[in-house]
Chains A and B, each alone.
Chain A
């Protein structure tokens, strides 16, 4: 019997973007509000999992041509790199720096290198989750 998933695919096209925007909100809210890299990574992986459910592995790989293990490695590099930044400044390992910068549109903004560490956590969580899901889904 041939099936036609037109409802699921059209809902996925809208909902996956909403989930991804929600994960971006969780990522950037992590310093002052509940959220952070871990939950944001899991939510982004949930958005990609929803497209995996509506389509198939080959279509999703042609949509976003990313190597998930490579993403995990880049995330670990971000985490270690922001740790080593403190060493190069003569401080202990994982010492973070922050400052107030006047950005063109946003005005006076507090920028913190802990965000880069959180970006590493985000990339590692996304990469590991997608690697687990794809490698289990590919094995018959």
Chain B
């Protein structure tokens, strides 16, 4: 019972945090702000899925956590490479 109350409060706080990141994505002055906010939303999603899997008393969602973290990492790396060089995948290395 106390765990469910604590998980509900945690989910509420993480949804407020996600909405604040959403504000940063909509209003961010530069592209880098938006990319950082998107990465942080991915990390918030990891926490939300972990708490939901505790809420529903199942361990079927535990693979999703690792998958979201890996996809957020790959997406952020590709976005930052696009910001830095203008293209994501090089044909031939220049350094």
Asked if B91 and A43 make an inter-chain contact with CB atoms under 8 angstroms apart, the answer reads: no
- Which residues of A sit under 8 angstroms from B73, Cβ to Cβ? 15, 50
- A70 at the B interface (CB under 8 A): no
Asked if B89 and A133 make an inter-chain contact with CB atoms under 8 angstroms apart, the answer reads: yes
Asked if A26 and B90 make an inter-chain contact with CB atoms under 8 angstroms apart, the answer reads: no
Fill in one digit per residue for B74-85: 1 if any A CB lies within 8 Å of its CB, else 0: 100110010011
Interface residues on A, range: 20 to 34
Q: Of the candidates A15, A26, A137, which one forms a contact with B88 in the assembled complex, judged by CB atoms under 8 Å apart?
A: A137
* 27 A-B interface contacts by CB (under 8 A): A2-B95, A3-B85, A3-B95, A5-B95, A8-B77, A26-B63, A33-B63, A34-B63, A39-B67, A46-B70, A46-B74, A49-B74, A50-B77, A53-B74, A53-B78, A53-B81, A55-B93, A56-B92, A57-B89, A58-B91, A58-B93, A59-B93, A133-B89, A137-B89, A137-B91, A138-B91, A140-B91
Residues of B within 8 A of A (CB): 60, 63-64, 66-67, 70-71, 73-74, 77-78, 81, 84-85, 88-93, 95
